[in-house]
């Protein structure tokens, strides 16, 4: 057993802490805000590698996460559901490499898209379940602003440290110029009884998706690269609703339940690796873009394996 500190309490940080504790490590999580206030809570949280380079490692992590979430869907208390829907394609040569991780999928006639069954996460339920599960494994959590990896190593004296703080990770590590935000805006409508989702990433009007959950439907969205603006834009919301209703007329006139903006923690590629330049092992696990829930368990296992090699 080794003592490990994890920085970050979003879906990535909590998943990493959970897997490290399950492997027998003594784990502490420190973050400036808990999961309910993180960008993870804003996500539509459907399994799909959005705003991330779909590399072989991403497909592998996505497959592992798909399998774990499919298992968790057997327990309604986790907030995970298996749902069927459609990824629309409007290009003649769409990248469908992600389908290698999806056991149940089929191409639509004429290349109009892919119909598949994937995990869907109700963020409030799932993040609460994940936090409780980590605590049950002995993970300790505290709220604090982390401004320096060096200072945290000195104060916590861990055997290893994992930086999984989303957009804040690059500044903490100080060796990364490849990270950037992608602004995502959503509006949540009352659910008139829909169960099937869709994603239309190449819609001429802009990114469009609709993800029905229990009592609401998450409608989006935007993909504004480099924007740090977290304010609701009524003009953008109007465009989102117009595009979504054009594809799903049943949503016309449904009341708005809530609105949100989140900044996806993007990077040229996901960073899951040991970081050089520290007197103790430091690992990075961030840059997941809009695929945090999609890659969470796979990358948590990758980090656990890296820490385990050091602890041997």
125-154: per-residue pLDDT in tens? 999 999 999 999 999 999 999 999 999 999
Of how many residues is the chain composed? 312
- The answer to whether residue 50 scores a pLDDT higher than 70 is yes
For 154, how many CA atoms within 13 A lie in the half-sphere containing its CB?
6
Rounded Cα distance between 74 and 119, Å, is 11
Query: What pLDDT is stored for residue 33 in this prediction?
Result: 84
Q: Mean pLDDT in the chain?
A: 94
What 3-state DSSP class applies to 102?
A: coil
- The answer to whether residue 40 scores a pLDDT higher than 90 is no
Rounded Cα distance between 197 and 251, Å, is 12
Q: Quick one: residue 32, left, alpha or beta (phi over 0 = left, psi -120 to 50 = alpha)?
A: alpha
8-state DSSP, 110: G
The rounded percent of the chain whose pLDDT value lies above 90 is 91
CA 308-297-55 angle, to 5 degrees, is 95
Predicted structure pTM score: 0.95
More confident: 187 or 35: 187
Rounded Cα distance between 218 and 233, Å, is 16
Compute CA distances 106 → 67, 92, 113, 120, 177, whole Å. 18, 17, 9, 18, 39
Query: What pLDDT is stored for residue 311 in this prediction?
Result: 62
Calculate mean pLDDT across residues 169-178. Answer: 94
Calculate mean pLDDT across residues 266-292. Answer: 96
Residue pair 61/295 in contact (Cβ under 8 Å)? The answer is yes
Q: At what angle do helices 292-311 and 11-22 cross, to 10 degrees?
A: 40
Rounded Cα distance between 74 and 15, Å, is 19
Q: Confidence band (pLDDT; 50, 70, 90) for 111? A: confident
Calculate mean pLDDT across residues 275-292. Answer: 95
Calculate mean pLDDT across residues 32-48. Answer: 78
Residue pair 120/45 in contact (Cβ under 8 Å)? The answer is yes
| Domains of the chain from N-terminus onward | 3-311 (3.50.50.60)
Rounded Cα distance between 2 and 24, Å, is 8
Q: Is 158 exposed, middle or buried (0-12, 13-18, 19+ CB in 10 A)?
A: buried
Q: What is the pLDDT of residues 228-271, one digit of tens each?
A: 999 999 999 999 999 999 999 999 999 999 999 999 999 999 99
Rounded Cα distance between 60 and 229, Å, is 33
- The answer to whether residue 39 scores a pLDDT higher than 70 is no
Calculate mean pLDDT across residues 104-118. Answer: 94
- The answer to whether residue 65 scores a pLDDT higher than 70 is yes
Calculate mean pLDDT across residues 272-299. Answer: 96
Query: What pLDDT is stored for residue 34 in this prediction?
Result: 77
Alpha helices in the chain (DSSP H): 11-22, 56-72, 123-136, 149-156, 169-173, 234-247, 292-311
Calculate mean pLDDT across residues 79-104. Answer: 94
The rounded percent of the chain whose pLDDT value lies above 70 is 97
Query: What pLDDT is stored for residue 43 in this prediction?
Result: 72
Q: What is the pLDDT of residues 174-229, one digit of tens each?
A: 999 999 999 999 999 999 999 999 999 999 999 999 999 988 999 999 999 999 99
Query: What pLDDT is stored for residue 1 in this prediction?
Result: 66
User: Which DSSP string do the residues of 28-95 spell out, in sequence order?
Assistant: EEEESS-GGGSGGGTS--BS---SS---HHHHHHHHHHHHHHHHHTTSGGG-EEEEEEEEE--SSS--
| Residue recorded with tokens 């982390």 | 146
- The answer to whether residue 37 scores a pLDDT higher than 70 is no
Query: What pLDDT is stored for residue 176 in this prediction?
Result: 93
Residue pair 170/181 in contact (Cβ under 8 Å)? The answer is no
Q: Which range among 29-43, 164-178, 260-274, 282-296 shows the weakest confidence by mean pLDDT?
A: 29-43
């Amino acid at each position: 057993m080794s003592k490990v500190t994890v920085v970050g309490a979003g879906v990535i940080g909590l998943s990493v802490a959970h897997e490290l504790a399950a492997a027998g490590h003594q784990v502490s999580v420190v973050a400036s805000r808990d999961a309910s206030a993180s960008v993870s809570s804003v996500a539509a949280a459907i399994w799909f590698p959005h705003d991330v380079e779909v590399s072989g490692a991403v497909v592998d992590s996505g497959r592992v996460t798909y399998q774990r979430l499919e298992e968790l869907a057997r327990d309604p208390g986790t907030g995970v559901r298996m749902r069927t829907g459609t990824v629309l394609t409007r290009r003649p040569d769409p990248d469908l490499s992600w389908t290698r991780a999806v056991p149940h999928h089929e191409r639509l006639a004429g290349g109009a898209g892919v119909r598949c069954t994937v995990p869907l996460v109700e963020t409030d339920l799932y993040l609460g379940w994940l936090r409780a599960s980590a605590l049950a494994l002995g993970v300790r959590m505290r709220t604090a602003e982390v401004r320096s990896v060096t200072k945290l190593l000195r104060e916590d004296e861990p055997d290893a440290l994992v930086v999984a703080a989303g957009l804040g990770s690059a500044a903490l590590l100080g060796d990364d110029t490849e990270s950037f935000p992608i602004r995502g805006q959503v509006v949540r409508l009352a659910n008139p009884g829909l169960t099937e989702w869709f994603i239309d990433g190449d819609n001429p009007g802009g990114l469009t998706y609709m993800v029905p959950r229990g009592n609401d439907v998450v409608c989006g969205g935007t993909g504004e690269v480099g924007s740090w603006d977290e304010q609701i834009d009524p003009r953008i919301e109007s465009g989102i609703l117009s595009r979504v209703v054009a594809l799903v007329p049943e949503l016309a006139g449904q009341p708005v339940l809530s609105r949100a903006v989140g900044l996806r923690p993007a990077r040229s590629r996901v960073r899951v690796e040991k970081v050089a330049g520290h007197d103790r092992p430091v690992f990075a696990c961030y840059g997941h873009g809009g695929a945090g829930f999609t890659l969470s368990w796979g990358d948590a296992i990758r980090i656990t394996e890296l820490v385990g090699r050091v602890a041997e």
